[in-house]
Structure 1
């Protein structure tokens, strides 16, 4: 790929590196680059760090407004090991969530799934859904592990392959042959895995909820999306005491300890090119910042605006940025009365109208309103609410852009009431965070949220390479390889740092 051949030259002396945006991936790159001996300055248009990883506090209640749980914490353990003496656990308190999740299905059945225990999950599913259900899910996880083993390095640990079409065309999930009439077929989508291999509407809903949480339509998401539930099963689900914002704080403070400079309230209006390569930034207040490299932690549409009328950032032979990704709607609930000890940290309330919900989110045009799938987070954390009260966060996947109506919020509360019947009686106040709020926090048009990179699907769910056709310009964060999500953002930081420090020959962590 031309972008890879145009990667930044290997840096042997101290370089000036300008980073656009203080999202988690951008800060991860900044910390690693500073440890390598470079002068790194981060320019952030808002007044704080973290990108989508924010925290809202009011009347003694505190809520994560972005991600609420941390999968694959090893990514951040590696970041802290590589950038200083203090390990991650010395900077934040990680708590393994158990059960990992509670699921309320449309037919009224429910199940609580233990954290990172295949045998425990199999047993719980058999008890809740009937003999054989757990075995089918367990067998699926074995196949999902094979897909993970085949794609882990190219999708998480290595720069995007120059011959990325091999990832686009090859389906890594070993689907089971399915005979229908005179034909034998294999599942090519997540929905087909649910229908043909799991053979239970509730198991299919469990599977599809992982895709939906990442903004993916299970009817079109490739079978390779099986790696999403596998990651959670294999590496566990973790909560950061005090909220995920504490993780962003720890990364920010690690950057400061390594002499990374931050300039807040600094809107970048252009990327300066000189002699055919990125050479600095133009700021809204009129100044120009010179640099040897530019690392852009922004969405593709924003990057396009920063380089108007110049060399194309990406060519026709390269991965196209993900477009029309959905957003998230979050309802923050301050409840009177304490959290019951038996309450699950995370509960997923599945919709009664699967097709209606998916058409509403992914239809073209967007379909009519439907009862949503709601994820409820009830952290067992004294920092989240005043004594004797409880902070609850409800999250649903929604189309990016459209405004939210009161009936939309009412449908969310109605669905959540299936898991928390006394919700309305306990409600002190609520606050709604929409796609417009995400757009304000991140600068992404419409408040869209990027999905993790996935193999197959013709490359539709890959993310563009971290290198670009403009030498000296690299991209980091959820809108570039390896895609959205906290682990992926952290890995993008590692990849960008490697490409700058070691040059085009960098092939990822060993």
Structure 2
């Protein structure tokens, strides 16, 4: 049965769902509030520089390959992918850093040099992480979060202890060197929670890091969005930009359309890839599944203060991805999760894509992206943004032994207020809801509304969770759920 489907938003999950639904023969229209598509994965272009506004890490290439393969395509049909070497470096002090290269063998040598005997432990740790990756990324995350029994397989039952221990506990048990432990704890930050609140099973992120590696799409992560747009349009998807949705229409307990700028669009199904909390505010209160108290109690991934900086010279002593762990991570983590406030001494991350990709900055110049993780919901002022830019640039200059502040052509910033204004993000969160034990799989907000028929959700606040690969998967899961429910309905009608 051919259905008219309205999709709110055009991020990774919405575009993914649109492609699958169009492939199934439905009429799909995307409604995007901003001028350009991509959701959080938009792009800033200015004075010859190109910056990814959102995600900058390309991990789990197999998930992207699996997505495009579902349509008889491959990533290389749309964009060029380069494996980074080194993958990234981590600063712990002035001129004091550890570089993570592009193979496990090289990384083992780095670990051994830092802590004799650690390479064998690392191989064992990554072997377990790889097994978890095979279980999770090739199977479990492709389940819709409908029932707790989805997690109960012969393999996961054997690994039950890994759902009740934590990444931090496992890492610190094996690695006594604090610097190496921090590097192993770092990948789970992509899941939006502290290592001591993330189940051991999520060590599959370490395999994504050390076992598979870090990649860069030429011209930036936005190339993936453009690839998905091209695919979607080839399948017949209609995309409307600058078309914000003001209300989801309900008739007799069923979603029947949306209202945008006073215009009504009728449809058979509404699917929101926008922020889940915001999506429910488009409904009358009686149709909302989750109360304000529900959202307030949830553990949200951090927000971010981001700077997009153009330098008039090439920088030294940095890699494409560079992490700055020269301050106490525990203190900063508490200032995000436990007692939310602006951090006294924040960790920060920097990306310099122009070191790899000549297309993103003029010759002899550098594009830099700086990110400070923050608690969502904080006060956000220009004065605070300036204060924190000065803080991290001063540290950056000291740690990397170079002067850069007088070489800045321009800088743009993005923070809590922008996440709220541009993406209707709950409290200005950047990554959605954290993947803690009590917010995993069936314990996350549902893909299908429990109160309204024909209303569905996708994205980082539902299953599987935060991150680009999970968002691609989320789009597939909701499309499959729609197909299942409406094939069943058509069958019942025929009977």
- What range is the shorter-chain TM-score in? 0.7 to 0.9
Q: Does 1:75 align with 2:63?
A: yes
Classify the secondary structure of the residue corresponding to 1:124.
helix
The gaps in structure 2 that reach 5 residues or longer are 489-495
2:344 is equivalent to residue 362 of structure 1: no
1:148–1:425: structure 2 CA closer, same or farther, 3 Å change rule? Answer: same
- Whether the 8 Å CA contact 1:339–1:390 is kept in 2: the answer is yes
Shift of 1:201: 0.6
SS in 2 for 1:262: strand
Q: TM-score, normalised by structure 1?
A: 0.85
Q: How far did residue 35 of structure 1 move?
A: 1.6
Q: Which residue of 2 aligns with 1:431?
A: 412
In terms of mean alpha carbon deviation, does 33-42 or 149-158 score higher? 149-158
8 Å CA contact 1:61, 1:384 repeated in 2:
yes
| Partner Cα distance (1:29, 1:345) in 2 | 31
Residues 5-154 of structure 1 mapped to structure 2, 5 A cutoff: 13-83=1-71, 86-106=73-93, 109-115=96-102, 117-127=103-113, 129-152=114-137
* Structure 1 equivalent of residue 270 of structure 2: 294
Assess if the C-alpha contact under 8 Å between 1:52 and 1:66 holds in 2: yes
The yes-or-no answer on 1:253 pairing with 2:230 is: yes
Q: CA RMSD for the aligned pairs?
A: 3.1
> Hey, what does 2:391 align to over in structure 1?
411
Is structure 2 residue 474 aligned with structure 1 residue 495?
Answer: no
Say whether 1:241 aligns with 2:218: yes
- 1: distance between equivalents of 2:69 and 2:139? 23
Q: 4+ residue stretches of structure 1 with deviation over 6 A?
A: 318-321
1:170, 1:455 within 8 Å by CA — same for their partners in 2?
Answer: no
**Rounded Cα–Cα distance in structure 1 between residues aligned with 2:433 and 2:280:** 21
1:326 to 287, 297, 302: 302
Please name the residue that 1:465 is paired with. Answer: 446
1:504 and 1:234 mapped to 2: Cα distance?
40
Q: How far 1:382 sits from its partner (Å)? A: 1.3
Q: Is the 8 A contact 1:16 1:293 kept in 2?
A: yes
**Pair 70,264 (structure 1): closer, same or farther in 2 beyond 3 Å:** same
Give, in angstroms, the shift of residue 206 of structure 1. 0.7
Alignment deviations for residues 69-93 of structure 1 (CA, whole Å, 9 cap, x no partner) = 211122232333333x553212111
- Residue 286 of structure 2 aligns with which residue? 310
Native 8 Å contact 1:94 1:240 kept in 2? yes
* Candidates 340, 346, 350, aligned match of 1:371: 346
Alignment CA distance shift 1:88-1:165 (3 Å): closer
TM-aligned CA distance change 1:82 to 1:170, over 3 Å: closer
**CA–CA distance in structure 1, aligned partners of residues 426 and 433 of structure 2:** 18
Q: Is the Cα contact below 8 Å between 1:327 and 1:397 reproduced in 2?
A: yes
Which of residues 460, 471, 475 in structure 2 aligns to 1:478?
Answer: 460
1:449 to partner: Cα distance: 2.3
Q: What is the distance in 2 between the residues matched to 1:494 and 1:233? A: 27
Task: Name the counterpart of 2:141.
Answer: 156
Stretches of structure 1 that go unaligned for 5 or more consecutive residues are: 1-12, 176-185
| Residue 391 (1) aligns with residue 367 (2) | yes
Name the SS for the 1:219 alignment partner. helix
Which residue of 323, 331, 344 maps to 1:348? Answer: 323
| Kept after mapping to 1: 8 A contact 2:300/2:433 | no
Q: Displacement, 1:296?
A: 0.7
* Alignment check: 8 A CA contact 2:38 2:222 kept: yes
Choose from 338, 350, 357 the match for 2:314.
338
Deviates more, 1:94-103 or 1:147-156: 147-156
Residues 82 and 478 (structure 1), Cα distance of their counterparts in 2 relative to 1, 3 Å cut:
same
Whole-angstrom distance in 2 between the partners of 1:364 and 1:289: 44
Which structure dedicates a bigger proportion of its chain to helix? 2
8 Å Cα contact 2:419-2:425 kept in structure 1: yes
How many residues align structurally?
477
Equivalent position SS for 2:137? helix
Q: Deviations over 1:320-354 (max 9, x none)?
A: 994443112212221122356x8522111213222
Q: How far is the alpha carbon of 1:222 from its aligned partner?
A: 2.5
Over residues 409-459 of structure 1, what are the superposed CA-to-partner deviations in whole Å (9 max), with x where a residue is unaligned?
Answer: 222223333136333353333222212222233221332023587473474
TM-score normalised by the chain length of structure 2: 0.87
Find out whether 1:443 has 2:424 as its counterpart: yes
Equivalent position of 1:222 in the other structure: 199
| Inter-CA distance 78–194: structure 2 relative to 1 (3 Å threshold) | closer
Cα gap change, 1:123/1:139 in structure 2, threshold over 3 Å: closer, same or farther?
same
**1:253, distance to aligned residue in structure 2 (A):** 1.8
CA distance in 2, matches of 1:465, 1:505: 20
Distance 1:88 1:139 in 2: 32
The alpha-carbon deviation at position 174 of structure 1 amounts to 5.9
Describe the shift of the 1:64–1:160 C-alpha distance in structure 2 as closer, same or farther (beyond 3 A): same
Instruction: Quickly say closer, same or farther: Cα 1:322–1:152, change in 2 above 3 A.
Output: farther
Partner of 1:56: helix, strand, or coil?
strand
Q: Distance in 1 between matches of 2:465 and 2:341?
A: 24
